Structures are given as C-alpha cells and as structure tokens.
C-alpha cells in the first residue's frame, strides 16, 4: 500500500535530516506503529506520505502508484486516498461537528443525500452521534479527536494516517481512540500511526517500525515500543 525505496528527506532551510535511506513496505490492511524519540523523523515520514514535504531522494509508492513527483494539481487526489488525524485535531472552529465531517464529502462532490446518510454513520462509528450540532470549542479533547477521526474515514479511504493522535489526550481517552483505530483497521483500512506513547504500542501488539536519528533501527511484526534493540 505504501512503499519507501531508499528514501531520504533533508530540509532545505536548515539542512536538518528528517530521515535518511529509509526503505519499508506497508501492505494493504496492515496496522503499523512508527515509533521513536522526539526528533527521530516520525513526522517527517508522515508529511512525506501526505505530500506536504517532497522527498530529497528515493522513491515513494502509494496505492501502487508512483507518488515521488506529483504535480500540484494531482496532490489533492492523492490525499483523498488517505484520511489524516493529527495531534492538534485540526477542526474548523466555526463549523459544527456535522459540518466538519461533511466537509470531507463536499470536496469530493458527494450529493446531499450521501452526506445525510454517511456523516451520521461515521459519527456513530466514533461514538459521537449525539454531538453532531456542537462546535469544536464545546467538545473535550477526546471528542474533538473523534470528530477528526470521523472526518478521516467518512469517505472510506483505503489508508488512515495519524501523527501523534493521542498526544493531547489523557491515557483513558487515548486508549479509546486507539481501539477505534483498531476497529477501523479490522474493517480493512491500512492504518499508520506515528506515536511515542510506549504503553499503547506495547499493549496493542502490532507491527512496530522504530526510527532513531532518521534511520529505521527496528521493524518487528508484533513488537513493543521499548525492546532492547536501541
């Protein structure tokens, strides 16, 4: 589903290395944690997948298509194959929960009927159906992240990308969000989660790709966060 071939990212402005010579393959339907200490390159990997940043070397393949060098006009269509969830939720503050989720459908030109049907379904799935008229500032952090999650999955994209999705949440809420991600994965969506929440990673027993100083130092099929390899 996602393949990095000898990829590297060096930031032009300060010469910082995001990651270097990373090769990895994430198959369809997998659930993958990308872990590592702060500054190890997790977000750089995520931003390259989202085409927010360009690779400085190597090849990137997403959904069997070469995504290394896409034109500006093609990027939105690539992004529609991926739902995204961030640490800071990124909700539109002057839109209700319903409108925030519906927005993802509006941009792909969904009909009013489809929106009426699929948005409540997505909200039910994340357990937020009773808050659809609320605005983001009336919600708890967990509820905001559920809204973001509903927005990410409402178009049923094949891939779900999360960068520190539980970074702003208390442990209990963090677990609820993780179990939602697990549910989504069980329905067939490929899920990639960058995180440094070691307890969650240890508890989930998923594939773990560990980064350190921008290099892959471990890739374990049913790993934990802190195995003694690094």
Conformation bin of residue 168: beta by default, left when phi > 0, alpha when psi is -120 to 50 = alpha
Minimum CB distance to ligand ADP, residue 18 (Å)? 4
Residues 3-62 that bind another protein (CB under 8 A): 50, 52
Going by C-alpha positions, the residue among 18, 102, 87 that lies closest to residue 57 is 18
Burial of 104 (0-12, 13-18, 19+ CB in 10 A): buried
Does residue number 69 form part of the binding site for another protein (CB under 8 A)? no
Interacting residue with ligand ADP among 8, 44, 118, 132 (CB under 6 A): 44
Any idea what DSSP says for residue 126?
T
Residue 44 makes contact with Mg ion by CB under 5 A: no
Binding mask 131-160 for another protein (x = CB under 8 A): --------------------x---------
Q: Which of 77, 81, 66, 80 is nearest to 28 (CA)?
A: 81
* 16 is an interface residue for ligand ADP by CB under 6 A: yes
Applying CB under 8 A, which of residues 6, 16, 65, 77 lies at the interface with another protein?
A: 77
Shortest gap between Cβ of 25 and another protein (angstroms)? 24
Q: Which tokens is 89 given?
A: 């939720």
Q: Toward another protein, which CB reaches closer, 73 or 221? A: 73
What span, in angstroms and rounded, lies between the C-alpha atoms of 140 and 33?
A: 25
Among the listed residues 218, 215, 221, the one whose alpha carbon sits nearest the alpha carbon of residue 6: 215
Positions that interact with ligand ADP (CB under 6 A): 11, 13-14, 16, 18, 36, 38-44
Positions that interact with another protein (CB under 8 A): 50, 52, 72-73, 76-80, 84, 90-94, 103-104, 106-112, 115, 151
């Amino acid at each position: 589903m996602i393949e990095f071939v000898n990829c590297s990212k060096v930031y032009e402005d300060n010469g910082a290395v995001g990651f270097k010579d990373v090769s990895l393959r994430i198959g369809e339907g997998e659930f993958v944690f990308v872990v590592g200490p702060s500054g190890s390159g997790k977000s750089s990997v995520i931003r390259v997948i989202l085409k927010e940043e360009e690779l400085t070397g190597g090849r990137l393949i997403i959904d069997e298509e070469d995504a290394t060098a896409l034109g500006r006009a093609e990027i939105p269509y690539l992004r529609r194959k991926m739902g995204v969830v961030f640490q800071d939720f990124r909700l539109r503050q002057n839109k209700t929960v319903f409108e925030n989720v519906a927005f993802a459908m509006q941009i792909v030109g969904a009909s009013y009927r489809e929106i009426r049907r699929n948005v409540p379904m997505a909200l039910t799935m994340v357990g937020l159906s009773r808050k659809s008229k609320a605005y983001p500032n009336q919600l708890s952090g967990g509820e905001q992240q559920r809204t973001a999650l509903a927005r990410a999955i409402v178009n049923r994209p094949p891939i779900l990308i999360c960068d520190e999705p539980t970074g702003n949440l208390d442990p209990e809420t963090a677990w609820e969000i993780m179990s939602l991600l697990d549910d989504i994965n069980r329905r067939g969506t490929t899920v990639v989660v960058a995180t440094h929440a070691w307890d969650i990673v240890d508890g989930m027993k998923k594939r773990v790709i560990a980064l350190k100083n921008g290099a892959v130092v471990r890739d374990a099929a049913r790993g934990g966060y802190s195995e003694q390899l690094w």
